[in-house]
Amino acid sequence: MKTADIRRTYLDFFEKRGHTVVPSAPLVYNDPTLLFVNAGMVPFKPYFIGDEVAPFDRAVSSQKCVRTLDIEEVGKTTRHGTFFQMLGNFSFGDYFKEGAIEYAWELVTSPQDQGGFGFDGDRIWTTVLTDDDEAFAMWRAVGMPAEHIQRRGIKDNYWHMGVPGPGGPCSEIYIDRGPQYGPDGGPEADEDRFLEIWNLVFQTQDLIGVRSKTDFDVAGDLPKKNIDTGAGLERIAYLLQGKQNMYEIDEVWPVIERAAELAGKTYGKDHGDDVRLRVVGDHVRSGLMLMSDGVSPGNEARGYVLRRLLRRAIRAMRLLGVHDPVLSELLPISRDLMKVSWPDVATNWARISDVAYAEEDTFRRTLTAGTQIFDVAVRRTKESGQDTLSGTDAFQLHDTYGFPIDLTLEMAEEQGLTVDRKAFQSLMQEQRDRAKADARAKKGGMVSTDTYRELRAGGETAFTGYDELVTPSIVRGVVRDGRVVPEARPGETVEVVLAETPFYAESGGQDADLGIITGDGLHLDVLDVQRPVPGLVVHTVRVGEGELHTGQTVDARVDADHRFSSRQAHSATHLVHAALRELVGPSAVQAGSYNKPGYLRFDFNSTQALSKDLQQAIEGRTMEAIHDDLGVSTTMMNLDDAKQAGAMAMFGEKYPDRVRVVQMGSPWSLELCGGTHVSHTSQIGLVAMTGESSIGSGIRRVEFLVGSQAFDHFAAERQLVQGLADSLRTQPEQLADRVARMAEQLKAAEKEIAAYRAKELLATAGAFVDRAVRIGGVTLVAETVAEVAPADLRTLATEIRGRLGENPAVVALVSGTQKPAAVVATTAAAREAGLRAGDLIRVACAELGGKGGGKPDLAQGGGTDPAGAPRALAVVKAAVEKVGATR
């Protein structure tokens, strides 16, 4: 069964038994405890813990999941993968243990033609929690032999998500793969031979304080006894498809196959190469699915995970010897495999490919620059008589140039050097510690807020930035590493609390202000501004000159240019929102936003992509509002009054009873907002839409450049158009027609050339027939051909076969001096004699270092070793001789 068919079988089975089919949630899910959805039950968590009432009593789903804790193990085992699909059936206070066990046994053991998976019941083993006599008895009741049911402890048979939430004892289903995979004795003896495919969780408890798999606190019982099951689609697939591991299933293997072809490798010959190829297969698919759900490569959180996956795949191909770009070869294959079950990968392909290929280009540039630094470090190491590259050098390559440590190790080995990994790991840990400290300092949320609350108790920070950019103030507190300190010296980075400030703290999607704080002999550069607790503004500063201490009189000065650009971008965000609601519809409400000088992005609810015409209309409507020079006004109102007036609330914001309402051409744009804005929309200048994409199920994102950045964008496009027009000796307004005519001419020329080439090639068929040899009762044409395309080679083979008549005949052709291609064609009489093209092509391509396949009458393949062409033809001839001798 193909993977998509297994998925459909599972969903159909439970739908027929009263379960509501629930679509997969996006991998990026609204759960603050999770980076990605990591289990099929995640979307149902509110129902399990009683926060929401389930709209159904029983459900079934196929959920996209990503787990990255075991990323280093990917490719090394049969079980570890980053992206996987979790099949699950769920009961919310409906059926419990007995129903779950009966359903599982029926589905797993029923024949495939009756809607089951068709596993042999004698190969099935199960486990239950040590003292779960009830589950043990229920497995016995469906026919499971007692000796195939094993009791295991909490480590193996109690399930939770690894974070606070529902949990309970579980019962796992295993399939015996056979003695060739390990010793007998059930899952307790060997979990490679006995492979887990399904976990039935009997949810009964609400967990808190989850510290590890076995260390957690129980808050109490869940409101209802629930069933939460998770069956690994990929594991079931490789068992039903007769494969050795999850990387060889139909949704992954073609990517590995193409990667091996690009690298000139044969899968199965070298363990190290196989691991790298499996890393490529897994990570390309995982990256595809993450990008399909709106994740973009970055240096933090989800973006960093995606960046790491893509770069590990590129690095693995590099270690396999492929230095050219590879994602353009591999991602489309994965797209075509996955779109059967997940159409979004095709719908969002333009964005996915743009993001992925740009990331590969960036990484390739860093590799080029880093290689130069590596060469210098190697030369310095050798000149000093050492044979170990320092941990400092390895860390610089990783930190500055993005070199994975594995790549550095590989390159060092090629130079006869080792790497001081202990020192490297020490530096990496120091960096992680600094990053955690920086995050705590910036957001104030990862450390105790007691210090900030104490400072807040001294009074609220007055914000003066709506009316002025320079404010005299008093230093109320200096904070270092979460603690109040009396002073700070030059070179130190600390946090400063002022009595009043003109600096805007990051909020409402608007980035923080930049600027300086000065005093008598004092100069501070303001790097960031946050509100760690309500009412308190904290400035992260670097001390440039003088000593900073509490009680000091200072001047807080916002960077005027930075603020003006921020005002432009934030005001443009409001106009874009209004334009979307006008042109797309009132359902296009905000789902997130971010703006900074020169740039804005806006996320909104929509199930449909914006057409090119609609994108242009939204950009045009926004520019119209700018051109109309709408007045921008702010009013303080009661929250209820503001809502009654139709003011839109900004995504994710909490509002006090008194709110600030920003109006632009009211009621066209009327929003609750505490950000800074221009006084008239004409001050925004220009906007240029640069992107529209999906970032998840039902959420779209538009991106704009604003102000001078938009002007630079248009100027660059104008220069590009003029350059193309000059090159083609036409006017810019005629460029589109000129390019279209050239494309038509090129297409016609290519078609004419192809027809000529095919005619010329077919003209040689007679010469091949004249050189045919008789072997017993079989005619054989077995020759190498000049470099021709595989399609043309196939055409020639069928033409030769047609001229050989109805007698037993075999045609075997090999072409190519770099990556050889092969074709075998047989007549009906030859096939009756036992000569099948598919069988012959496989043995022929093995001599070429590749694989082949096809139908009995016509098959094709290729390889990587052109020197194997004589051997490939020889094995075909040997097969013909064996049959011919009997006729």
Annotated binding site for Zn(2+): 570, 574, 673, 677
What gap in Å lies between CA 584 and CA 602, rounded to an integer? 14
Burial class, 604, CB count within 10 angstroms (exposed 0-12 / middle 13-18 / buried 19+): buried
d(CA 870, CA 859): 18
Distance (Å, rounded) from C-alpha 311 to C-alpha 297? 10
Query: Which positions ≥6 away from 262 have C-beta within 8 Å?
Result: 317, 322, 326, 329
- The neighbour count for residue 215, using CB atoms within 10 Å, is 9
| Binding-site annotation: residue ranges | 570, 574, 673, 677
Distance in angstroms (rounded) separating the CA atoms of residues 314 and 623: 42
CA angle 869, 873, 877 (to 5 degrees): 165
What is the residue-wise DSSP string for 466-496?
A: TT-SEEEEEEEEEEETTEEESEE-TT-EEEE
Q: How many CA atoms lie within 13 A of 371 on its CB side?
A: 12
Indicate the length of the chain as a whole number.
887
∠ CA(561), CA(562), CA(568), 5° rounding? Answer: 90
3-state secondary structure at position 463? strand
Give the span between the Cα atoms of 790 and 871, in whole angstroms.
19
How crowded is residue 582: how many other Cβ atoms within 10 Å of its Cβ?
A: 16
User: Cβ(762)–Cβ(796) under 8 Å?
Assistant: yes
Indicate the residue type of 487: E
DSSP letter string, 444-455: S-SS-SHHHHHH
Q: Cα–Cα distance between 403 and 717 in angstroms, integer? A: 34
The answer to whether 101 and 138 are in contact (CB under 8 A) is: yes
Rounded Cα distance, 562 and 581, in Å: 29
